[in-house]
Amino acid sequence: MADAGYFSKSYIQKLQDASAFFISRMSKSVNPMAVCDKSQQAKPPQSWLKELPSTGALDLDVHWPDGPVYRCVAFAALDHKKRHVLVCTNLDRQQFPPEVVGDLYRVRWQIELLFKEWKTMNNLNKFDNHHATIVETLIWGSLLAATLKRWLINAAQQKYDRVISLFTGAKSAHIWWLPFCLDIARGPGAD
């Protein structure tokens, strides 16, 4: 899965040559010819968006000059800004209808949020060391801490029947983490 910044004809061709499956958002600057079904005339995907209803999807075949044919799915208001989204994929139409392609593409955003959480809430971008083993250990330690924070925050939400922001819980861990660990170390019944 890739965002529009990674999209290029050569990139998806490399994925295809490697027998990899892909779902990649198409950038607006890429505008090959596409057909919705064989009986209709080919036109650019951006033109097809004008025919897209306010909800739903169009399943298109995209034709590049001197290139392969790929499947392009145009979604109505799929992104967080409620804009149309065009994704290019080589997934089989029968096994992966447009709704499934859209659900799979939405998962990409959750992965992005998880990476952002790891990076910003655990200072993964601030390691100043040139020893690979130390850096790898710090990364694994940070990821473990992020996982534990997430688990503890979710457990607290369930226990106290309250919504707790993962961001707030992770950012305030310096306040609650040590007392929590000391409480666990004391064992049950210790006051």
**Stretch 117-122: mean pLDDT, rounded?**
71
Measured between alpha carbons, how far is 18 from 186 in angstroms, rounded to an integer?
A: 55
How sure is the predictor about 96, in pLDDT bands with cuts at 50, 70 and 90? very high
The two structure tokens encoding residue 63? 């034709």
- Give backbone dihedrals phi and psi of 12, rounded to 5 degrees, phi first: -70, -30
Query: How does residue 56 score in pLDDT terms, banded at 50, 70 and 90?
Result: confident
Q: How far, in Å, are 4, 5, 8, 38, 133 from residue 105 at the CA level? A: 12, 15, 17, 26, 34
DSSP letters for 120-169: HHTTGGG-----HHHHHHHHHHHHHHHHHHHHHHHHHHHHHT----HHHH
Q: How many CB atoms lie within 10 A of CB 114?
A: 12
35: alpha, beta or left, given left = phi > 0 and alpha = psi -120 to 50?
beta
For 14, the token pair is 């490399």
Mean pLDDT over 137-161 rounds to 82
Instruction: Please work out, in degrees rounded to the nearest 5, the angle formed at the alpha carbon of residue 83 by the alpha carbons of 43 and 3.
Output: 85
Q: Sheet holding 57-63: strands in order across?
A: 23-25, 85-89, 69-75, 57-63, 33-35
Per domain, the residue ranges of the chain are 4-113, 122-186
- In this prediction, residue 52 has a pLDDT band, given cuts at 50, 70 and 90, of confident
pTM: 0.61
Cβ-defined contacts of 53-58 (< 8 Å, 24+): 57/98, 57/99, 57/102, 58/98
Q: What does the pLDDT average to over 78-92?
A: 76
Tokens found for residue 78: 């799929």
Query: Nearest 5 degrees, angle CA 109-CA 3-CA 165?
Result: 20
